[in-house]
């Protein structure tokens, strides 16, 4: 993209999601505010796209084993921000059914909230910890030992860790009261024992308030609330703030790329971002003049495609006032082939590309000329975004003319809902214990959002805020699946949801018939005998009513 691309009207944060796309957008955005273990994200992997956790010290089960390990929200926010806005990043796959910029803005907002918390925790750590470093190291050693014991497999290991902490606390009180040193050294030794505890209390207050804020945002997003993403780092205060201006332009480039008309076909994975191909219907017959002794009036594939385009625009209109189709998105797509195991995709460049969009004259050339052999292909797509963005149905139409044969192919693609992990709200942390006397009854009490171990973890991570790669090395990081797109990376199959599956299957018949109707009209206008085409179209109209979706891209009929 040229550096002269117009990014006006300034650093404005748009409202959440477009119409009909809020649920999936908010579900993915809520991941930025979560405090769940990082390993939870692995449950959302689908058949084709798997996230990984790289670095850090972990058990076989993937549980956190050190004080530097991030939680789900921290890892997700940082990974998404780096991948979508990082310098020299690879191309992204379009995220149909969501507003990708909105999700990224929530990741930026969550990172900003955590940075503000970490700045305050850094001050607390320096004043109450680093200045009394020997005491801090002793307390950290005790907490690390307790943390290791609490995760032990031996029965009673957690109780031993708690008893160890209590014993050290009692010993600390004894030392404070009966320390045999006076003067500056004596006061420093006492402060070395006491000040880290005071710092822990202040850090707990800071961490608890931030945790409540993050959880409120998490809950509000899933409830459909209007809490917007506040991204002050993307609003330049004056022309000299290069980093903020770069971030603002990065967000605008992200949105521009999401509007690209180039998509990528990756074999059995289907078209990245649109989902796998679940069905296909082909009409192929010989081009014969209507009247013997006459000739066919010349036409090209583009003439047929234009007529189909206009016909598909009318899908929302019907003879009966029964609701029917919502307004579809009808768009010309250029499909670029990539390998099933491709680790990245690249956007086309050159004089025929502007703002990630293939220009109309090049689209027309590809439609008419690139029908055989290597190279990109043209498809006309009609897309429906349903279930608040949770279901994306795309029907693609291609028209090819080889020698005397005209082929019209209609294929169905379906992208299902985001994984259920992203739609689960926060739950309070509780503990249930039996009553002392009425042992058959139990008491349930609510625990603080931030426990002692979490306070220590946040306080230890905070001073390393200035250089995140250190945290990535010590605690690990989330590695996103490639080629990466926010929507398809965590999408489930729609066939597990009866109504979604019905919607996908019902879409095919009207689209197929509208396509054939428009094509036959063009053929009749150009003196083509359409009797065979009409018979074949009738057969396909019957076949398309087969209620069983297939894995059409695997070619294993």
Give mean pLDDT, residues 279-301: 85
Predicted local distance difference test score (pLDDT) of residue 126: 86
CA distances from 188 to 137, 172, 176, 183, 191 (A): 15, 14, 11, 9, 5
Per-residue pLDDT for 156 more than 60? no
Residues 56-74 pLDDT 10s: 655 444 444 567 889 999 9
Helix/strand/coil for 200: helix
Give mean pLDDT, residues 223-245: 70
Phi and psi dihedrals of 384, rounded to 5? Answer: -120, 125
Predicted local distance difference test score (pLDDT) of residue 236: 65
Most distant CA pair in the chain, distance: 119
Contacts of 274 (CB under 8 A, 6+ apart): 96, 263, 392, 394, 413, 415, 488
Residue 151 CA from chain centroid, whole number: 32
Banded pLDDT at 10 (limits 50, 70, 90): very low
Contacts of 173 (CB under 8 A, 6+ apart): none
314, 315, 319, 320 alpha-carbon torsion, rounded to 10°: -140
Phi and psi dihedrals of 263, rounded to 5? Answer: -125, 170
Tokens read off for 410: 């209609």
Per-residue pLDDT for 519 more than 70? yes
Percent of the chain at pLDDT above 70?
Answer: 79
Per-residue pLDDT for 283 more than 50? yes
Tokens read off for 449: 């959002």
The secondary structure element, H or E, covering residue 318 is none
Predicted local distance difference test score (pLDDT) of residue 217: 92
Q: Higher pLDDT residue, 151 or 492?
A: 492
Question: Could you tell me the pTM of the whole model?
Answer: 0.84
Lowest-confidence pick of 411-425, 480-494, 525-539: 525-539
Tokens read off for 49: 């796209």
Lowest-confidence pick of 91-100, 210-219, 532-541: 532-541
CA 454, 456, 459, 465 torsion: positive or negative? negative
CA 527, 529, 534, 536 torsion: positive or negative? negative
CA distance 21 to 342: 29
Per-residue pLDDT for 557 more than 50? no
Tell which residue, 227, 223, 243, has the closest CA to residue 235: 243
Are the C-beta atoms of residues 543 and 281 closer than 8 Å to each other? yes
Give mean pLDDT, residues 124-147: 76
Give mean pLDDT, residues 97-119: 93
Give mean pLDDT, residues 388-400: 93
| 3-state SS, one letter per residue, for 278-305 | EEEEEEEEECCECCCCCCCCCCCHHHHH
Count of helix runs (H) and strand runs (E) in the chain: 13, 12
How, if at all, do strands 477-479 and 52-54 pair?
Answer: antiparallel
Give mean pLDDT, residues 81-100: 91
Predicted local distance difference test score (pLDDT) of residue 8: 39
Residue 153's CB is within 10 A of a number of other CB atoms, namely 5
Q: Higher pLDDT residue, 233 or 330?
A: 330
Lowest-confidence pick of 150-164, 264-278, 322-336, 386-400: 150-164
Predicted local distance difference test score (pLDDT) of residue 551: 73
CA 271, 273, 277, 283 torsion: positive or negative? negative
Predicted local distance difference test score (pLDDT) of residue 2: 42
Contacts of 103 (CB under 8 A, 6+ apart): 25, 28, 29, 32, 80, 95, 486
CA 314, 315, 320, 324 torsion: positive or negative? negative
Give mean pLDDT, residues 432-460: 77
Per-residue pLDDT for 214 more than 90? yes
Predicted local distance difference test score (pLDDT) of residue 549: 72
Give mean pLDDT, residues 534-551: 70
The residue count of the chain comes to 557
User: What is the average pLDDT value for the chain, to the nearest integer?
Assistant: 81
Give mean pLDDT, residues 271-278: 90
Residues 45-54 pLDDT 10s: 888 888 988 8
Are the C-beta atoms of residues 26 and 221 closer than 8 Å to each other? yes
Residues 302-322 pLDDT 10s: 999 999 999 999 888 877 667
Are the C-beta atoms of residues 494 and 414 closer than 8 Å to each other? yes
Predicted local distance difference test score (pLDDT) of residue 496: 85
CA distances from 91 to 222, 257, 404, 494 (A): 29, 8, 39, 27
């Amino acid at each position: 993209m040229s550096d002269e691309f117009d990014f006006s009207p300034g650093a404005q944060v748009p409202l959440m999601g477009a119409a009909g796309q809020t649920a999936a957008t908010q579900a993915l955005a809520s991941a930025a505010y979560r405090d769940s273990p990082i390993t939870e994200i692995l449950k959302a992997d689908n058949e084709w796209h798997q996230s990984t956790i790289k670095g850090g010290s972990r058990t076989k089960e993937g549980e956190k084993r050190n004080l530097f390990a991030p939680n789900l929200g921290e890892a997700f926010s940082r990974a998404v921000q780096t991948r979508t806005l990082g310098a020299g990043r690879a191309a992204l796959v379009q995220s149909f059914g969501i507003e990708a910029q909105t999700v990224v803005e929530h990741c930026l907002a969550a990172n900003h909230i955590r940075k503000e918390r970490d700045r305050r925790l850094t001050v607390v750590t320096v004043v109450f910890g680093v200045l009394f470093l020997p005491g801090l190291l002793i307390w950290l050693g005790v907490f690390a030992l307790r943390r290791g014991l609490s995760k032990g497999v031996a029965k009673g290991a957690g109780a031993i860790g708690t008893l160890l902490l209590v014993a050290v606390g009692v010993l600390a009180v004894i030392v404070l009261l009966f320390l045999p040193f006076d003067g500056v050294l004596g006061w420093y030794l006492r402060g070395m024992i006491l000040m880290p505890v005071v710092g822990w209390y202040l850090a707990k207050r800071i961490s608890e308030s931030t945790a409540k804020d993050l959880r409120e945002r998490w809950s509000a997003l899933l409830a459909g609330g209007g809490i917007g993403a506040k991204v002050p780092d993307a609003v330049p205060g004056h022309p000299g703030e290069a980093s903020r201006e770069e971030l603002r332009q990065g967000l605008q480039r992200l949105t521009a790329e999401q509007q690209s008309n180039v998509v990528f076909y990756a074999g059995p994975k289907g078209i990245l971002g649109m989902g796998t191909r679940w069905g296909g219907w082909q009409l192929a017959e010989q081009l014969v003049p209507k009247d013997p002794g006459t000739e066919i009036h010349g036409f090209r594939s583009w003439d047929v495609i234009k007529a189909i385009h206009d016909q598909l625009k009318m899908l929302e209109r019907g003879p009966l006032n029964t609701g029917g189709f919502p307004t579809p998105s009808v768009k010309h797509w250029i499909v670029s082939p990539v390998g099933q195991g491709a680790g990245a995709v690249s956007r086309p460049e050159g004089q025929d590309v502007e703002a990630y969009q293939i220009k109309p004259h090049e689209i027309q050339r590809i439609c008419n000329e690139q029908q055989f052999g290597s190279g990109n292909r043209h498809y006309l797509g009609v897309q429906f975004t349903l279930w608040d963005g949770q279901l994306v149905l795309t029907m693609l139409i291609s028209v090819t003319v080889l020698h005397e044969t005209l082929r019209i192919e209609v294929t169905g693609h379906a992208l299902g809902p985001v994984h259920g992990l992203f739609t689960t709200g926060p739950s309070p942390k509780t503990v249930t214990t039996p009553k002392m006397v009425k042992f058959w009854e139990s008491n349930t009490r609510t625990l603080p959002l931030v426990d002692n171990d979490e306070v220590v973890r946040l306080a230890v991570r905070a001073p390393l805020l200035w250089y995140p790669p250190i945290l990535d090395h010590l605690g690990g990081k989330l590695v996103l699946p490639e080629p990466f797109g926010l929507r398809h990376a965590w999408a489930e199959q729609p066939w597990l949801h009866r109504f979604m599956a019905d919607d996908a299957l019902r879409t095919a018949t009207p689209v197929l018939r509208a396509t054939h109707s428009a094509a036959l009209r063009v053929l009749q206008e150009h003196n083509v005998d359409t009797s065979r085409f009409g018979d074949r179209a009738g057969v396909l109209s019957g076949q398309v009513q087969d209620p069983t979706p297939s894995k059409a891209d695997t070619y294993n009929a």
